[in-house]
Each structure stands twice: as C-alpha cells, then as structure tokens.
C-alpha cells in the first residue's frame, strides 16, 4: 500500500482554507501534517472552525514542515512571494488564491494594484480547472485554482467559446452567497446590512474577468461580467447570455453535451439549477435554454467547494494520479 501523501494547508482558518483542511483531513490518500493561521496560531483547529475537521493545533508562520504538497489559501499577494521556494524545494503547490492565475504580470498589476513578487513563476503555473485541460495537471508542481465566479463563468462559456457561438460575445450575470467575501470583517458582510438585501457590485469590471478571458483562450472574446451578492451563505449562480445567431437551441445543447462528456463534476440539468442543489458538493449543474433567439445558460455550484477548495482537491487528485472524485463524495444534504 502506498503511504499517504503529506499535505500542509497555509491559511487554514478562512472559509476556503478551512474547507480545504476539512476535506483533506477526510481524504483517504492524504496525511494532513500542518495547518497554519496567523489569527489563531496555538489553538486547535476545531476550536476555531466548528465541526469534525482536523484535530490539529494551528501553527503560526507559513512553514509547511515536511509536507510534500502545500495548499495555499492566503490573501492575494502573499502566495506570490512564498511559492517559489516551496516549488524549488520540490514540493507541489496548490494555490487557491489569485497570485498565479494570470499569466501576464502587467495584467496582474492592473487588477491587483501591485507588482507581482515572482513574475518568473507565472508561466509555469497550471490553471487548476480540471474541466479545461485537466490532462496538464498530472505531475504539475504549481497549480493556480480559479476563483469561484471564474469557475462558474468558464464552465458556462467554454463550450460556446470553443464553438464560436454568439460570435464570442457573452454576458455573465452572476450572484454569490456571502461566504464568497471571506471571513474578514466588513460592513458588506455585516448581518444586519446583508440580510434582506440584494445588490450588484463591481459593475465597471471585476478581478475575475481577466482570468475568465484568459481561460477561454479567446483574446477576442468580449465578456461582460457583473457579480451580485445574495443573502445566503453558500452558492454561486451564473446566468449567461449570448445570441443564437440562427442556431437551434438543440444544436447548442448538443455542443454543450459533447463538451461536458466524461466530466465527473459537471452535469447538464433539465431545468434551471438551484444553488441549494449543489450546496455542500463539488458538483456543477448547467442548464442550457433559449429565450427567443438568445441562449440562456444557467450554472450553479458551491463557491467554497467546486468554486474553491473542492476544486483544489479535485486538482490535487489529478496531479497525484488519484481518482478524480477521491474525498469529494457523499457530502450533500437537503434541505
């Protein structure tokens, strides 16, 4: 029997890091060795994150110890300066943050307002969306997982973009639960302000936009992306619009069905999916419909699982050559 792979989670008490830590704790091929947290160092993970997650004491500095795999869930900018040495030491780095998603350091500065600390690494990072080039993940040493909105948008659009549907002119109207804004305190996540409220934000352009365009691999694609905040904890829904340009919707559905064929965690749904259907799971449901001569594609996923940590585990499974769904099944509950 193969010994389990030693894994560290750097930044384990935010929502994405804690979710990754909990999944990896249960993962049959993994031995979770190190969890770090600046805010809660010295305390047991279970005191800080309720539930039956790792029974481990949180470490302070970003030191992965003897871990072979380092899962990073830090605010943007921090992984950029740390990942290089970990990669050099021969470890595999799976980054949930934004630091290695864009291949172009100029684009990075434009959207994140700071110089990238390791621009030389940008070219070597593999984009961690298994549905799009998952074959490149095998043996990768630096994986940049896409953001939650990006995952929903890219899965919604890549079949259309590949086939050139709608002249590659797309509108993505997306909405997320509040956990997507993380565990850091802000008036925009304050219960009394968010409950009974719905709003759009970043209407002028959101940081996830360039990684969507890059992932679709069509620089000429024109994508409008507007995120909204929903008074719920988990879930992302993307409603995507493009012109049918004379195609029948059944033809479009066939294109989508072919593009999704064989995917473990993407499924066509016969009716518009609810975010609640996928909450707690790594599944992504997509409904393809038409209203008049416009296609309407609705995609739902859990922002903390398929949109973040579940996807990171899925990517790790492919990096290591394990079955893609290892550690990602049997999590759903209803209602």
Per CB under 8 A, does 201 bind a copy of itself?
Answer: yes
When the beta carbons of 51 and 120 are compared against a copy of itself, the nearer one is: 51
Among 255, 264, 296, 326, binds a copy of itself (CB under 8 A): 296
Give 92's strand partners. 69
When the beta carbons of 109 and 274 are compared against a copy of itself, the nearer one is: 274
Among 3, 28, 51, 262, binds a copy of itself (CB under 8 A): 51
Among 28, 42, 50, 246, binds a copy of itself (CB under 8 A): 50
- Please give the C-alpha separations between residue 137 and each of 55, 61, 93, 94, in angstroms, as whole numbers: 30, 28, 12, 11
Q: Please give the residues from 214 up to 243 whose contact with a copy of itself meets the rule CB under 8 A.
A: 222, 224-226, 228, 230-235, 237, 239, 241
Among 4, 6, 26, 84, binds a copy of itself (CB under 8 A): 26
Distance CA(21)–CA(44), nearest Å, equals 13
Cβ 58 vs Cβ 37: under 8 Å: yes
- Catalytic annotation present for 148: yes
Per CB under 8 A, does 276 bind a copy of itself?
Answer: yes
Give 297's strand partners. 240, 288
Cβ 25 vs Cβ 53: under 8 Å: yes
Per CB under 8 A, does 325 bind a copy of itself?
Answer: no
- Measured from the CB of residue 236, what is the shortest distance to a copy of itself in angstroms? 9
Retrieve residue 157's tokens: 């659009």
Q: Is 219 helix (H, G, I), strand (E, B) or coil?
A: coil
Distance CA(262)–CA(91), nearest Å, equals 30
Distance CA(187)–CA(168), nearest Å, equals 37
x-or-dash string of contact with a copy of itself, 158-177, rule CB under 8 A: -------------x-x-x-x
Count of residues interacting with a copy of itself (CB under 8 A): 78
Distance CA(84)–CA(93), nearest Å, equals 9
For residues 272-291, b (16+ Cβ closer than 10 Å) or e, as one string? bbebebbbbbbbbbbbbebe
- Measured from the CB of residue 105, what is the shortest distance to a copy of itself in angstroms? 22
Per CB under 8 A, does 106 bind a copy of itself?
Answer: no
**Any idea how long the chain is?**
335
Per CB under 8 A, does 41 bind a copy of itself?
Answer: no
- Measured from the CB of residue 170, what is the shortest distance to a copy of itself in angstroms? 11
Distance CA(307)–CA(324), nearest Å, equals 16
Please choose, from the candidates 121, 36, 43, the residue with its C-alpha nearest in 3D space to the C-alpha of residue 70.
Answer: 36
When the beta carbons of 22 and 141 are compared against a copy of itself, the nearer one is: 22
Span from 70-78, 84-92, 152-160, 183-191 in contact with a copy of itself (CB under 8 A): 183-191
Per CB under 8 A, does 28 bind a copy of itself?
Answer: no
Instruction: List the end-to-end C-alpha distance of the chain, in Å, as a whole number.
Output: 39
Examine residue 335 and say whether the peptide bond preceding it is cis (omega within 30 degrees of 0).
yes
- Other CB atoms within a 10 A radius of the CB of residue 63 amount to 13
Span from 29-37, 144-152, 187-195, 251-259 in contact with a copy of itself (CB under 8 A): 187-195
Among 7, 11, 15, 131, binds a copy of itself (CB under 8 A): 15
When the beta carbons of 28 and 90 are compared against a copy of itself, the nearer one is: 28
Q: Which residues are catalytic?
A: 148
């Amino acid at each position: 029997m193969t010994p389990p792979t030693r894994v560290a989670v750097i930044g384990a008490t935010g929502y994405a890091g804690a979710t990754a830590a909990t999944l990896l704790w249960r993962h049959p091929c993994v031995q979770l060795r190190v969890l770090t947290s600046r805010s809660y160092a010295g305390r047991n993970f279970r005191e800080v994150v309720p539930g039956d997650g790792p029974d481990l004491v949180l470490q302070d500095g970003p030191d992965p110890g003897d871990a072979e795999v380092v899962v990073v869930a830090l605010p943007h900018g921090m992984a950029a300066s740390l990942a290089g040495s970990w990669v050099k030491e021969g470890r595999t780095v799976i980054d949930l943050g934004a630091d290695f998603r864009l291949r172009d350091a100029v684009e990075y500065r434009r959207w994140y307002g700071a110089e990238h600390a390791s621009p030389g690494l940008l070219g070597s990072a593999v984009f961690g969306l298994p549905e799009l080039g998952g074959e490149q993940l095998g043996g990768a040493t630096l994986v940049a997982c896409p953001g939650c909105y990006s995952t929903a948008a890219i899965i919604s659009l890549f079949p259309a973009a590949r086939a050139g549907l709608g002249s590659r002119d797309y509108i993505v109207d997306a909405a997320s639960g509040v956990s997507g804004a993380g565990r850091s305190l802000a008036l925009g996540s304050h219960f009394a302000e968010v409950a009974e409220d719905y709003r759009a934000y970043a209407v002028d352009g959101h940081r996830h936009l360039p990684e969507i365009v890059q992932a679709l691999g069509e620089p000429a694609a024109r994508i409008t992306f507007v995120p909204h905040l929903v008074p719920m904890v988990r879930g992302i829904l993307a409603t995507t619009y493009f012109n049918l340009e004379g195609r029948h919707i059944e033809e479009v559905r066939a294109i989508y069905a072919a593009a999704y064929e064989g995917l473990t965690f993407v499924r066509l749904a016969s009716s518009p999916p609810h975010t609640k259907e996928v909450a707690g799971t790594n599944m992504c449901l997509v409904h393809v419909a038409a209203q008049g001569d416009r296609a309407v594609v609705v995609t739902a996923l859990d922002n903390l699982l398929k949109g973040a940590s579940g996807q990171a585990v899925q990517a790790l499974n492919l990096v290591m050559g394990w079955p893609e769904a290892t550690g990602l099944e049997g999590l759903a509950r209803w209602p």
